[in-house]
Structure 1
């Protein structure tokens, strides 16, 4: 190797060690950055001359450094005081996007078509109602629409300042009223209720009551929309419940009728056997309710108090009545080779041909990983290891400068020979 080649080799060594300095300094600077994935530096030799060594092998007289990503390395999951923060344990990434232009205006932002992926799950609700992480990326998910169903399209999750409470699904209807008297025959009555389906939509439900023409203590209750959905209800002479569908029932046992049909199947509570607290008959011939109203077990009102995250990726609205309701669902995206992703600003990545196509999964499926709430994923930087490598890189850099100095002395000696 000539003196000039030795200078070129030393310069390539200086550049390679500078590259390593850059990677190490970036790791150290981001040792406290949520979701940051530390990188390493790989070195490779290069042959830049056509000279052959005496053993016939090519001479290596240059070195190059490349940055290797380790996005598949799991960071430590640590607790956070932020209740909206999420940490992934697994191979998945959050789907995020960036807005176009300023986000400070009162108008809804428009979003860049570029899809980003991140492990930074330190989210909070911004002044426009979007879930945004500390790097300014907007979290995407499947949002619940006006019909109560989840959307099938990923979009930035938006939460209004005042979320309306959706009435809960009715599963039980109850009636507490005298529906006729013990003194007449052939009487009839109708009881109605407002029942709510699983989407919180209200529907009117009616039950028809018909007294036997031969026995004033025997009645038939039926679904007004389906007469075949019925039951026989008998009463005692004092107007209290005796039985439903002729089954032998002890005093104090629950008396029920199975309602089937729209909006869903429900249990109708008629009270207790031997009691007049539920459905009963009047004994004075007149004081009974006309068209009594059934009550349901649906909760119909509540005031929005905040948001909560669930380990299955559900974004829930919480209310002062103690209930929570689904607003959106967060999926996780995986890649065949996550180390092939292209790093972007703010702990975000974009897909490349090397990473493979993104695959969107539900939480805890197909290796996407699990979620920890009120938690974040720490940087994967190992400070002790990086500081040690920094010392080694510093010494290697110094050694390459010695080669430059020595080569310069050799050149000066050679030049002095012709003086």
Structure 2
């Protein structure tokens, strides 16, 4: 009888110890999971003032293991697992910044950025080939003219080719050096002055890309007071100008007599470009005129209305993603265009240092879009996107996690006491 009782006690102790050990394992998994939650919450709280930071949450799930308490094909949940869940698709509040080159995205897009991997001998950064994506748009120019955010990432975009004036089709870091040259503005008007001597008039004009073009005009005498001015490339593109025989002033253009002081002009069409040719004014001699006093005509010269000089003064950002170089003459010129990249699942991007991400197979292929297209979002200038951390909510969750952690430690200490009692059962 005593042997049977002893064997029963051994069975009871064995079952009890198995249950207690399983309880300890469960409590330890709870401690690990709550520690994971502590880490996520502390990271959110620490980055509550970090521009472009996307707060994460902790997800818990039960975990089934093959334990000794399972019987008849049953499985018991005896642990918990915690995972970090990203929320990169959450929109942060957009606030005004004192930094005029800062940009904030309202939408699903990300800025395309790269990192420096070193420096050349002249201190120019050596940029890596790894593509990163970020929502931190607090960009400023470094000493080399590159746009760099506060995390040290270099902004990429489509740069304007200085030779052709067209945008590139590949992404490259945006650099606007202080030595950038002003591109002459497109000529829209050619102003002529002087006395007709029958010789052709040549002048320099500039096309839409800032390239210099030579514009020529032929003068043909009709009679003593009438001349035609024409495009050498198209004789039909001409105007007949009649002058006053006594003063040499313009009397009419193409037979149209207008009030004194009215503008005298004709439209120059075709090669190298279209523009208005100003001949002067009706009744005036400040433009084109005839020499009527027997003196030698001075000849006719032309000057276009292009602005040809300017000193770089800074850059400005536009809401359509345009990066403009500004000059002291009041003009701005496009130097680059910023696109935004979207993903099918932005929450599956791989987080990197400095509020940056890399693409993964789960996030989907990067889709590059123009600003405000395909859900990429809009841009706000002189603005930043704030952290999405809910400071009040996370502090409340921190208290809950602390209580859960304490409860799990209580399970461990209680299990230890039960284990000691069980071991002493048959001693």
Q: TM-score, normalised by structure 1?
A: 0.93
Contact 2:176-2:325 within 8 A present in 1 as well: no
Are 1:124 and 2:140 matched, yes or no?
A: yes
Are 1:209 and 2:219 matched, yes or no?
A: yes
Q: 271-280 or 324-333: which moved more? A: 271-280
SS across alignment from 1:388: helix
Q: Distance in 2 between matches of 1:372 and 1:55?
A: 63
Superposed displacement of residue 339, structure 1: 0.7
Q: Return the index of the structure with the highest Cα Rg.
A: 2
Where does residue 38 of structure 1 map in the other structure?
55
Are 1:373 and 2:399 matched, yes or no?
A: no
Q: Distance in 2 between matches of 1:178 and 1:11?
A: 101
SS across alignment from 2:239: strand
Q: Which runs of 5 or more structure 2 residues have no equivalent in the other structure?
A: 1-17
Contact 1:235-1:281 within 8 A present in 2 as well: yes
Superposed displacement of residue 197, structure 1: 1.0
Where does residue 290 of structure 2 map in the other structure?
281
Q: Deviations over 1:46-104 (max 9, x none)?
A: 11135788998642111100001011111111111111111111111111011223x38
Are 1:406 and 2:414 matched, yes or no?
A: yes
Where does residue 296 of structure 1 map in the other structure?
304
Are 1:114 and 2:130 matched, yes or no?
A: yes
SS across alignment from 1:81: coil
Where does residue 327 of structure 1 map in the other structure?
335
Where does residue 79 of structure 1 map in the other structure?
96
Contact 2:120-2:126 within 8 A present in 1 as well: no
Superposed displacement of residue 282, structure 1: 2.4
Superposed displacement of residue 285, structure 1: 2.9
Superposed displacement of residue 129, structure 1: 2.4
Where does residue 200 of structure 1 map in the other structure?
210
SS across alignment from 1:364: coil
Where does residue 359 of structure 1 map in the other structure?
367
Where does residue 46 of structure 2 map in the other structure?
29
Q: Distance in 1 between matches of 2:396 and 2:196?
A: 87
Where does residue 200 of structure 2 map in the other structure?
190
Where does residue 307 of structure 1 map in the other structure?
315
Q: 323-332 or 243-252: which moved more? A: 243-252
Q: Distance in 2 between matches of 1:52 and 1:275?
A: 111
Where does residue 145 of structure 1 map in the other structure?
161
Where does residue 350 of structure 1 map in the other structure?
358
Superposed displacement of residue 248, structure 1: 4.6
Q: 379-388 or 277-286: which moved more? A: 277-286
Flag the 1:398–1:104 CA change in 2: closer, same or farther, 3 A.
farther
